[in-house]
């Protein structure tokens, strides 16, 4: 069996699961979900192993070619992110199985599967319109997940998120229409060939980027993120912070590089970098002010997105080595943040289960009781702070090298100060857990499954520091992105 035949199943199976789980009784829903999770993990692993090392794969759904049919393309980047999605979504799914109340599960599973299908669709999409459909499906599923549970605060956060996401999608769609008007194609490969720079293209790209920035929650368009990510149920928070916002960033960076923007708009790139610095400092500062654990973690996402924004100016370098390092570092940062943040949200959820309240002050004395959760939180924190050995450190090292080679020393300062700030707000959490209290508090006991899911994700973000050459080799496999990078 060739790996090509596996591709459509990555979309069909989750979509089928989404429809099925909406209809089946709870027990059957859980069992079928477990089976599909297993098959997805297996399929993405096989794809990664069978990935041809010379050229990307193309697959036309139902043998309908472009422009009307749907073409899937699989390059190293897509394969790596398929794997990342399988890993994180599987663990979040397992977590949800034992975390969510039976009354919440019938709502969760269909949305979960739509989310997964949308993510796979986005990693594999080869044209702008399929990306739009993927983005919309992703946003709607994510908004539904945030509202899960139905409390007023969640509904409010979901509404805020929904309006931001809808506005973002329309900005993106408007940009795509303009691009189509100017170039007559939506296929990314074709577009890259015929792309010509002009006011219309510039406006179109600006709209697309602005729409994607709103969906990714880049500073200063981040205000919807903290209530949505902190307020949602724990497995949902992990999915949103680890995967959902990464999808729109992935599209933005792909378009940016494949349409050869790094050479065209140096000023915009510097501006995006500046926004990244703003995100790092503002997000870090706000994380330092929060009194609730999940709010700290959510603001940390806002801050960490700043690192991803820094890739844009680093790519705009005259040295191809520097831009190569920047893209490698950026994708690695995305990967390690996804693992670490998912682990951290799950660990935070466990800590809140232990303490019974979500305030930081409720954590006092927790580190003596059930140290496993603190340990998982700590491992994820190490990666987020970018301290060695961790995926976060390796990514930061590559970005530092890129900044040094391209002579943009000011971003070095931003990166280093950002890590100090993240150390400040994360160690603040730890110091609460070490405080010894006089009164003996009764702590709850999360199940072993919950603890293992959090620990696995956090440990993976650390292990990424030792095995970084593997994903880096996948990222470097030939494909439109690597070719455009030169």
Partner 1 sequence: MNLLPLAVLMTSFTAAMVIFLLPEARHRLRSLINIAAACLKLVLVIFLIQAVLQQDYPEFSWEILPGLSLVLRADALAMLFAGLSSLLWLFTTLYAIGYLENAPNRSRFFGFFSLCVASTMGIALAGNLLTFLIFYELLTLSTYPLVVHRGTPESLRAGRTYLIYTLAGGVLLLLGVALLYAEVGELNFGDTAALAEAFHAHPGRMSGIFFLLLVGLGVKAAIFPLHAWLPTAMVAPAPVSALLHAVAVVKAGAFGIIRLVYDVYGIELSAQQGLLLPLTLIAAFTILYGSWRALQQIDIKKRLAFSTVSQVSYILLGISLFGPLGTLGGLVHLLHQGLMKVTLFFCAGNYAETLGIHKIHELNGVGQRMPLTSAAFTLGALGMIGLPPIAGFISKWYLGLGALQAGMPWVLGVLIASSLLNAAYFLPVLKRIWFSDPPAAWPQQASESKRLWRDSSPWLLLPTLVTATLSLAAGLFAAASWSPLSWAELIVIREYLP
Partner 2 sequence: MNTYLIFALGGAGLCGIGLFGFILHDDLLRRLIAFNLLGSGTFLILVGLAQSGRGGVDAVPQALVLTGIVVAVAATALTLMLIRRWTQLSQQSHLTEEDE
Round to whole Å and give the CA distance between 147 and 159.
8
Q: What is the token pair recorded at 261?
A: 């923007």
The number of beta carbons lying within 10 Å of the beta carbon of residue 352 is 21
Residue 173 contact partner, candidates partner 2, partner 1, none, CB within 5 to 8 A by sort of partner = partner 2
Nearest distance in Å: CB 463, partner 1: 11
Between 168 and 446, CB nearer to partner 2: 168
Report whether the peptide linkage leading into residue 389 is cis, meaning its omega lies within 30 degrees of zero: yes
> Interface residues with partner 1 (CB under 8 A)?
328, 365, 367-368, 371-372, 375, 378, 382, 387-389, 393-394, 397-398, 400-401, 404-405, 412, 416, 419-420, 423, 427, 430-431, 434-436, 465-469, 472
Round to whole Å and give the CA distance between 243 and 141.
13
Q: Does residue 153 belong to the site contacting partner 2 (CB under 8 A)?
A: yes
Which residues 6+ apart lie within 8 Å of 380 measured at CB?
A: 340, 341, 343, 344, 347, 457, 458, 461
Round to whole Å and give the CA distance between 404 and 24.
56
Between 298 and 472, CB nearer to partner 2: 298
Which residues 6+ apart lie within 8 Å of 14 measured at CB?
A: 36, 40, 113, 114, 116, 117, 120
> Which DSSP letter does residue 198 get?
S
Q: Does residue 158 belong to the site contacting partner 2 (CB under 8 A)?
A: yes
Compose the 64-103 pattern: x for residues touching partner 2 by CB under 8 A, - for all others: ---xx-----------------------------------
Compose the 110-129 pattern: x for residues touching partner 2 by CB under 8 A, - for all others: -------------------x
Secondary structure class of 57 (helix, strand, coil):
strand
Nearest distance in Å: CB 438, partner 1: 11
Compose the 193-232 pattern: x for residues touching partner 2 by CB under 8 A, - for all others: ----------------------------------x-----
Nearest distance in Å: CB 452, partner 1: 12
Secondary structure class of 232 (helix, strand, coil):
coil
Taken in order 92, 154, 383, 350, the sign of the CA dihedral is negative
Residue 162 contact partner, candidates partner 2, partner 1, none, CB within 5 to 8 A by sort of partner = partner 2
Nearest distance in Å: CB 413, partner 1: 9
Residue 69 contact partner, candidates partner 2, partner 1, none, CB within 5 to 8 A by sort of partner = none
Round to whole Å and give the CA distance between 341 and 219.
18
Secondary structure class of 322 (helix, strand, coil):
helix
Q: Could you tell me which stretch among 20-28, 152-160, 323-331, 439-447 binds partner 2 (CB under 8 A)?
A: 152-160
List 15, 177, 364, 369, residue binding partner 2 (CB under 8 A): 177
Round to whole Å and give the CA distance between 179 and 99.
45
User: By the criterion CB under 8 A, which residues form the site for partner 2?
Assistant: 67-68, 129, 132-133, 136, 140, 143-144, 147, 150-153, 155-156, 158-160, 162-163, 166-167, 169-170, 173-174, 176-178, 180-181, 184, 186, 227, 295
């Amino acid at each position: 069996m060739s790996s090509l035949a596996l591709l459509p199943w990555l979309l069909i199976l989750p979509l089928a699961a989404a429809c099925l789980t909406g209809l089946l009784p709870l027990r059957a829903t859980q069992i079928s979900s477990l089976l599909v999770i297993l098959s997805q993990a297996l399929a993405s692993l096989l794809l990664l192993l069978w990935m041809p090392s010379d050229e990307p794969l193309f697959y036309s759904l139902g043998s309908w070619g472009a422009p009307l049919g749907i073409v899937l393309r699989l390059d190293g980047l897509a394969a790596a992110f398929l794997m990342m999605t399988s890993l994180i979504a599987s663990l979040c799914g397992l977590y949800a199985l034992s975390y969510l109340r039976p009354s919440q599960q019938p709502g969760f599973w269909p949305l979960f599967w739509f989310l997964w299908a949308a993510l796979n669709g986005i990693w594999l999409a080869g044209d702008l319109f399929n990306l739009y459909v993927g983005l919309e499906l992703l946003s709607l599923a994510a908004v539904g997940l945030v509202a899960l549970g139905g409390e007023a605060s969640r509904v409010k956060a979901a509404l805020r998120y929904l309006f931001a996401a809808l506005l973002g999608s329309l900005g993106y769609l408007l940009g795509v229409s303009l691009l189509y008007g100017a170039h007559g194609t939506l296929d990314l490969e074709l577009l890259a060939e015929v792309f010509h720079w002009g006011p219309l293209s510039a406006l179109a790209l600006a709209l697309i980027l602005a729409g994607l920035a709103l969906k990714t929650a880049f500073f200063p368009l981040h205000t919807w993120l903290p209530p949505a990510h902190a307020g949602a149920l724990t497995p949902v928070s992990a999915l949103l912070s680890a995967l959902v916002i990464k999808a729109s960033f992935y599209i933005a960076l792909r378009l940016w590089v494949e349409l050869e923007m790094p050479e065209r708009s140096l000023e915009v790139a510097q501006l995006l970098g500046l926004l990244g610095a703003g995100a790092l400092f503002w997000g870090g500062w706000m994380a330092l002010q929060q009194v609730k654990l999940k709010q700290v973690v959510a603001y940390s996402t806002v801050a960490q997105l700043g690192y991803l924004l820094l890739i844009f100016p680093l790519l705009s370098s005259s040295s191809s080595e520097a831009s190569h390092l920047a893209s490698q570092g950026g994708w690695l940062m995305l990967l390690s943040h996804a693992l670490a943040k998912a682990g951290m949200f799950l660990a935070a959820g466990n800590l809140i289960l232990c303490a019974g309240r979500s305030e930081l002050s409720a954590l006092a004395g927790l580190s003596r009781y059930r140290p496993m959760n603190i340990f998982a939180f700590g491992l994820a924190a190490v990666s987020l702070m970018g301290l060695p050995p961790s995926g976060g450190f390796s990514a930061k090292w590559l970005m530092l090298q890129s900044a040094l080679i391209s002579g943009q020393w000011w971003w070095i300062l931003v990166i280093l100060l950002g890590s100090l700030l993240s150390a400040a707000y994360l160690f603040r959490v730890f110091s609460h857990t070490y405080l010894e209290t006089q009164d003996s508090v009764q702590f709850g006991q999360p199940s072993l499954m919950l603890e293992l899911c959090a620990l696995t994700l956090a440990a993976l973000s650390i292990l990424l520091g030792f095995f970084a050459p593997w994903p880096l080799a996948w990222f470097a496999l030939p494909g439109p992105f690597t070719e455009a990078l030169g």
